[in-house]
């Protein structure tokens, strides 16, 4: 594609929809703010009521647009489903996926404002951003699709495709109840292709379609030694300290070159082709432009790998949390009875989370003294996934995005994991088109999460164009 090519045919006569989107931005923002005010943290059972509230908010909004909706209860948080047929019976069927749940907000003291009191801030560079937990991941993103549908319905009185919507509430906690839901609702979810809005742009000016995702294995380990907390002055020097045991295990996960030491971990990892590597080299992702903005200067990844390999094509292991003993203010001379860590692996290629889980657990168990114990808690696993790059919908979506952004979109892999994409393929044989408008500096999963107003606004316009192109 050529940046100077004329707008794609799909957008011809489409201006009134885009105009209405532009004129409705205030109302669109007010709806998003109402949605963001609901603290739908899925991983903490204390927020179950709020997760229901977020699901019901979506049901109401989709009903008001004319969708047929259903709140499907699960063993966890409910799933929102909706559908609306196109007036053209021969139109394509598109299944849109998003998630209404959000990440926890701790450490709360690092937020500059209440994470559930959304606001529009203007940064020093003049950029306007929507600040709240979930602004980008995924409430802001999923509303770009909903608002695009609303504008098309208002202007055109109908949609160019049969639309099915599936918004889950457990994406941030492993999507544990999604597979059963998909299995039980397979008929209602049948579509030509799935659309997912939970990924990012290449940069603030360049949209992206994501065609590969890393898998995820998430394990928690709890090391227990003595049957009670001990006074280090009485037992120190003799009693096993579970923090020491845990630290040694963590230190053993990587070798000096950053390679992961779990046996057989790299089975199924393949090398990118020479042409892919060559393309990546030209993107010039380096320590300065990738790590500089987050306050680092040096990659901690595998030696001998380009930075883009480290974050896209190589599997990784990170400890996401650790706790043991006294963590309050001041000092306490305790040898704790237990210490625990949450550890996740990003998987690529043909890596399979099940054998890796077994090997990881054996690897940990072998380092636990025989009068101590380890408990393993699984927080889910998903295989890596590759979206086919030869579907015509991909080409049409790329053209529609180019019409909106006036620059050739990037077709990229993503380091993140979106379990539903693999599940759609496995259970429904359904391919997915991953289009999102997040940016690397959105602080998703961190304090002060934001979503650029430009991402929200042009994201809505982009979806309207993509829907028209695919319809």
| Dist. CA 429–CA 111, nearest whole Å | 42
String of contacts with its own copies for each residue 398-437, x by CB under 8 A: ----------------xxxx--------------------
Residue 88, phi then psi, degrees to nearest 5: -90, 105
Q: How far is the CB of 406 from its own copies (least distance, A)?
A: 26
Q: Yes or no: say if 456 and 449 are a contact pair by the CB < 8 Å rule.
A: no
Nearest to 394 by CA among 470, 459, 463: 470
Query: 208 to 227, contacts with its own copies by CB under 8 A?
Result: 214, 216, 218, 220, 225-227
- Can residue 233 be called a binding residue for its own copies (CB under 8 A)? yes
- Can residue 274 be called a binding residue for its own copies (CB under 8 A)? no
| Dist. CA 41–CA 177, nearest whole Å | 16
| Dist. CA 198–CA 210, nearest whole Å | 10
Q: How far is the CB of 169 from its own copies (least distance, A)?
A: 13
Q: Yes or no: say if 178 and 75 are a contact pair by the CB < 8 Å rule.
A: no
Q: How far is the CB of 317 from its own copies (least distance, A)?
A: 8
| Long-range pairs, 248-254, Cβ under 8 A, ≥24 | 248/367, 249/221, 249/223, 249/364, 249/367, 249/368, 250/319, 250/322, 250/341, 250/343, 252/363, 252/367, 253/317, 253/319, 253/343, 254/317
Query: 437 to 466, contacts with its own copies by CB under 8 A?
Result: 440, 443-448
Nearer Cβ to its own copies (26/227): 227
User: Which two three-digit tokens encode residue 47?
Assistant: 């927020």
- Can residue 327 be called a binding residue for its own copies (CB under 8 A)? yes
- Can residue 369 be called a binding residue for its own copies (CB under 8 A)? yes
How many Cα neighbours within 13 Å face the side chain of 297?
0
Segment near its own copies (CB under 8 A); pick from 154-162, 314-322, 350-358, 393-401? 314-322
- Can residue 298 be called a binding residue for its own copies (CB under 8 A)? yes
Q: How far is the CB of 276 from its own copies (least distance, A)?
A: 17
Nearest to 137 by CA among 466, 448, 458, 394: 448
Segment near its own copies (CB under 8 A); pick from 51-59, 120-128, 138-146, 242-250? 242-250
Which position among 92, 128, 240, 361 is part of the footprint of its own copies (CB under 8 A)? Answer: 240
Which position among 7, 158, 179, 380 is part of the footprint of its own copies (CB under 8 A)? Answer: 380
Q: How far is the CB of 43 from its own copies (least distance, A)?
A: 3
- Can residue 43 be called a binding residue for its own copies (CB under 8 A)? yes
Query: 89 to 108, contacts with its own copies by CB under 8 A?
Result: 103-104, 106-107
Query: 143 to 172, contacts with its own copies by CB under 8 A?
Result: 172
Segment near its own copies (CB under 8 A); pick from 140-148, 203-211, 309-317, 399-407? 309-317
| Dist. CA 271–CA 286, nearest whole Å | 20
Nearest to 248 by CA among 60, 136, 374, 156: 374
């Amino acid at each position: 594609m050529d940046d100077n090519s004329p707008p794609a045919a799909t957008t011809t006569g489409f201006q009134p929809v885009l105009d209405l989107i532009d004129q409705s931005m205030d109302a669109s923002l007010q709806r998003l703010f109402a949605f963001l005010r609901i603290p739908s943290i899925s991983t903490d059972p204390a927020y179950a009521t709020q997760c229901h509230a977020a699901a019901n908010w979506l049901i109401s909004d989709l009903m008001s647009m004319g969708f047929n909706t259903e709140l499907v209860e699960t063993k966890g948080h409910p799933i929102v489903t909706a559908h609306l047929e196109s007036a053209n019976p021969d139109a394509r069927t598109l299944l849109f996926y998003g998630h209404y749940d959000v990440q926890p907000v701790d450490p709360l003291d690092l937020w500059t404002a209440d994470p559930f009191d959304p606001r529009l801030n203007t940064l020093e560079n003049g950029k306007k951003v929507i600040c709240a937990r979930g602004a980008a991941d995924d409430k802001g993103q999923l509303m770009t699709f909903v608002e695009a549908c609303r504008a098309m319905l208002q202007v055109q009185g109908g949609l160019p495709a049969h639309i099915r919507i599936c918004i889950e509430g457990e994406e941030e906690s492993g999507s544990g109840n999604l597979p059963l839901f998909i299995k039980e609702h397979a008929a209602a979810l049948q579509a030509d292709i799935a659309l997912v809005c939970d990924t990012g742009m290449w940069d603030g000016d360049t949209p992206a379609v994501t065609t590969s995702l890393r898998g995820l294995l998430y394990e928690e380990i709890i090391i227990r030694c003595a049957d009670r907390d001990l006074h280090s002055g009485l037992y120190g020097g003799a009693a096993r300290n579970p923090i020491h045991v845990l630290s040694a295990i963590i230190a053993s996960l990587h070798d000096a070159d950053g390679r992961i030491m779990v046996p057989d971990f790299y089975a199924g990892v393949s090398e990118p082709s020479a042409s892919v590597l060559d393309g990546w080299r030209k993107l010039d992702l380096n320590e300065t432009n990738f790590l500089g903005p987050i306050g680092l200067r040096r990659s901690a990844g595998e030696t001998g790998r380009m930075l883009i390999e480290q974050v896209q094509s190589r599997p990784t292991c990170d400890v996401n949390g650790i706790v043991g003993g006294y963590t309050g203010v001041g000092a306490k001379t305790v040898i704790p009875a237990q210490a625990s860590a949450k550890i996740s692996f990003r998987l690529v290629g043909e890596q399979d989370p099940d054998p890796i889980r077994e090997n990881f657990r054996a690897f940990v168990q072998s380092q636990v003294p025989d009068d101590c114990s380890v408990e393993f808690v699984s927080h889910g696993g998903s295989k890596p996934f590759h979206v086919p790059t030869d579907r015509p919908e991909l080409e049409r979506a790329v053209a529609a995005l180019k019409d909106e952004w006036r620059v050739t979109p990037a077709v990229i892999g993503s380091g993140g994991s979106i379990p539903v994409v693999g599940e759609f393929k496995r259970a429904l044989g359904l391919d997915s088109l991953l289009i999102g408008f997040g940016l690397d500096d959105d602080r998703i999963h961190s304090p002060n999460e934001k979503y650029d107003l430009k991402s929200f606004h042009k994201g809505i316009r982009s979806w309207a164009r993509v829907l028209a192109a695919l319809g």
